[in-house]
Structure 1
């Protein structure tokens, strides 16, 4: 069913050039926490873990054929945690515990019926406004995570970036985590056109939609930062977090306001599919060559829903 509220491309405070960079960094860090935190009782798993499960479920046995490039990684977002959960699940499902413990596949373990000597799935962080310092820290914690230090435009991806992976026999899968709603229709079409021309799949994952539940969820995010601010002020060694949470409550206000604006900007799967068919890609039968799948997953009881769209090129 289509939302009762039409899509409105409204502004978000965090997008504005006048919004202080140090506050933007705090907002991005808070959103990363929302993606990666698992709160018992109200969450069965974190949103990042849900995305890893969706990718694994939708791509099935072909998942190792892909390299996953996050084209709007910001300060890092959920991608490092998605990589961790996905590769952990692949390892536990395909490698016996004895092999996991000794870390090699030598000897008689090769004869184990469930054994697959497979490589891990690789993830790449990119953005039009790169964050090499924070990305370097994240990538240092996993050999399966890397980053591109120069600006990457999702509507015109550098051919060298795409070809570097295709030359290794990999398919390119683009990730848009809490990002696709930021693009107006012309830019969204340009990004999809470039995606269809150069890549083999993409995934759009949003923590909100155009419904009442999402407005409640975003309000709860604001309450969450009021509760968690002392802890993260200590973890981040940032007393200013407390100042801009309680004394001048910019952080909770922007999180809630931008969350509501994001909800109003979020497209349904049908609206994404319309953009796909009208994005102007040449030489391809989009309907015949690409398969669109979509769904919703509960990430926080009772209202939080993760909306997702996964589109893959059909096998020839």
Structure 2
């Protein structure tokens, strides 16, 4: 799938160190609401199950987790076949309180690491299948390659997921319309905050969310660009697969999967 739009590394409010904590929380809550109500997280489940089977891992280490993202839902779905599955969420700006709404069963399986974790310098002692949901576009090409090399160099499996594409029309068709409603949906999916209805009504949060959504589309890597990044992160005995769903509908997902494999190499797989 090709695009005529050049990649522009525009800034996003919520990944700026100067962004006030309440606004960063509000925007990451919008991201979480988007994952929840579009249902795109379900398209990641087969890839997660495949990598867990290939590697024998039973722990997911989620990077750039923000307000929790889709990992708790994925764990709930996958744990029916893998009851020993556990997950640890992490972020440069951790939000452990975002898991307070989880039920007792999921709280036993999913924890949020309170110490900040830089996705470009993951501590060696943190094991598990590394995942990145909707955040890979935040990294410039050199940083993205560094993240991939960190995984391939340590023989850790990595799965990067994006549901948007760098095409304005194709990224805004249903069910992406729900993404625009994320500031409202967050009132039901995120912890209650006194400032949320105020900053939504003004409307500070919707305006910042609109910009961040546009910037996200313009920063998103195409499958061909993901192949180029993976080529730079090649390592003996480690394989990269760019798995691209052809669908423009609810089945869409782009997965960059890396895992130890004697075949090595980089392959683009459209399905």
Question: Does TM, scored on the shorter chain, surpass 0.5?
Answer: yes
C-alpha distance in 2 between matches for 1:242 and 1:262: 24
Q: 2:111 aligns with which of 121, 127, 146?
A: 146
Q: Cα deviation per residue 1:98-156 (whole Å; 9 max; x = unaligned)? A: xxxxxxxxxxxxxxxxxxxx642222111222223334665954222233321222222
TM-score, with structure 1 as normaliser: 0.71
Q: Cα deviation per residue 1:266-292 (whole Å; 9 max; x = unaligned)? A: 11232122122224x7xx33xx63141
**Deviation at residue 9 of structure 1 after TM alignment:** 0.8
Q: CA RMSD in A?
A: 3.0
C-alpha distance in 2 between matches for 1:67 and 1:60: 8
Q: Which has the higher helix share?
A: 1
C-alpha distance in 1 between matches for 2:139 and 2:259: 21
Q: Please tell me whether Structure 1 or Structure 2 has the larger radius of gyration of its CA atoms.
A: 1
Change (3 A) 1:63 1:82: farther
C-alpha distance in 1 between matches for 2:148 and 2:232: 10
Q: 1:204 aligns with which of 160, 163, 172?
A: 160
Matched residue SS, 1:232: helix
Change (3 A) 1:154 1:129: same
**Deviation at residue 64 of structure 1 after TM alignment:** 4.7
Q: 1:128 aligns with which of 92, 107, 114?
A: 92
C-alpha distance in 2 between matches for 1:226 and 1:149: 26
Matched residue SS, 1:186: helix
Match of 1:17 in 2: 17
Q: Cα deviation per residue 1:22-81 (whole Å; 9 max; x = unaligned)? A: 12212211221211236xxxxxxx12222123322x337446534221111112111111
Note the 1:116-265 alignment, pairs <5 A.
119-135=83-99, 138=102, 141-142=105-106, 143-162=108-127, 172-211=128-167, 212-216=169-173, 220-221=177-178, 223-225=180-182, 228=185, 232=188, 236-246=191-201, 248-265=202-219
Note the 1:277-288 alignment, pairs <5 A.
277-279=231-233, 284-285=235-236
What is the number of equivalent residue pairs in this alignment?
Answer: 261
Q: 1:50 aligns with which of 19, 40, 43?
A: 43
Change (3 A) 1:30 1:315: same
C-alpha distance in 2 between matches for 1:198 and 1:239: 44
**Deviation at residue 226 of structure 1 after TM alignment:** 6.7
Matched residue SS, 2:126: helix
C-alpha distance in 2 between matches for 1:289 and 1:227: 43
Structure 2 unpaired stretches of 5+ = 264-271
Higher relative contact order (CA 8 A, sep 6+): 2
C-alpha distance in 2 between matches for 1:292 and 1:221: 29
